[in-house]
Amino acid sequence: MLLAELVGRTLVGGFSGTSLSQTMRRALERGERAGVVLFRRNLTESFAEIATLAHDVHSSSREVPFVCVDQEGGLVARLGPPALILPPARRLAEKGGIDLITRVGHVQGRELRALGFNVNFAPVLDVDSCSTNPIIGQRAYSDVAEKVAELAIAYALALQASGVLACGKHFPGHGDTHTDSHLVLPHVTASRDILEARELVPFRHAAAAGLRSLMTAHVVYEALDPDRPATISRRICEELLRNAIGFKGLLFSDDLEMKAITLPIADAAVASIHAGCDVLLICSNEEAQDEAHAALVREGERSLAFRSRLEDAARRSTRARETWAHYERPKDLAAEFNTQEARLICEALA
């Protein structure tokens, strides 16, 4: 395989507009992207148009692509009605137990598949352990680690049973931060014992339960690696997650354009792959995606060890896409929404 295509299996990008950009289309056709992530800026109110956009991504891709979305509920939701409208995870947990949350996962998975999405960047596995946290809060199912694990994993397994890859976030936990990693680099000063008893609990359960993908946090955990945020820390991604916890699935980075990552995008991409990430998210700037692609190719040419790491990441990416990403556009799109089960869930949440 050409190194450019190998690297392409490790990159998922975003773009502007409600139709597939020509630059993204060419990157998909060349095999230089593993897929796309879609935001509100890409999605109209017409579900037929959204399905057409997703279909365009699928048909333009050399290999089966990831088509990703953040559809947690509450403020973090890209799709409006007639999709199932959910409160934030904390409210969902208060309204019902595992049964309701499992039903939500099944319905949401069916809806997302109908539109052409095959990855949902949910559930949040963070424990709401800091009352002044500006970014997690109600997005967490609970402030109790075991309850987070129980409810989030129930949702994730239901989503996966409906054919959508669940992605638990943000490893090893974004709940105990006082700042937002979209804006600055947070530091967590909790001891290793506290992290083991609280933040890491849901991720250990997720790995054991068969959650197929996780996302890293752009957060420094001083007890784990005082010098690097988790996304670019081999101690955290490889030694802790892979070796100690035993996670065997796909590891996404969080968006490398977030301000918590202060390295140039090219350096951040190389550092993230070296640390153990398998697929890198660069969610808006297509030029930055090209810079990352070029840097990864250069490093793969320079270092056989790095090329081996790229091959490992690409294998996980390919395996996940071949398992989860196949897509058949439904004959009757409208019939997939506002179903009786979706209405019953809305009544339960009212």
- CA gap 146, 165 in Å, rounded: 22
> Are β-strands 76-77 and 187-188 bridged in parallel, bridged antiparallel, or unpaired?
unpaired
The dihedral region occupied by 103, where left means phi > 0, alpha psi between -120 and 50, and beta the remainder, is alpha
Q: Which of 56, 182, 187, 267 is labelled catalytic?
A: 182
Query: What is the amino acid identity at position 243?
Result: N
Could you confirm whether 55 is annotated as catalytic?
no
- CA gap 133, 175 in Å, rounded: 7
Q: Which of 70, 126, 176, 254 is labelled catalytic?
A: 254
φ, ψ at 73 (rounded to 5°): 125, 165
Q: What angle do CA 14, 220, 285 make, to 5 degrees?
A: 15
- CA gap 208, 68 in Å, rounded: 24
Residue 77 neighbours by CB distance under 10 Å: 18
Could you confirm whether 254 is annotated as catalytic?
yes
Cis status of the peptide bond prior to 172, with omega within 30 of 0 = yes
Active-site residue set:
182, 254
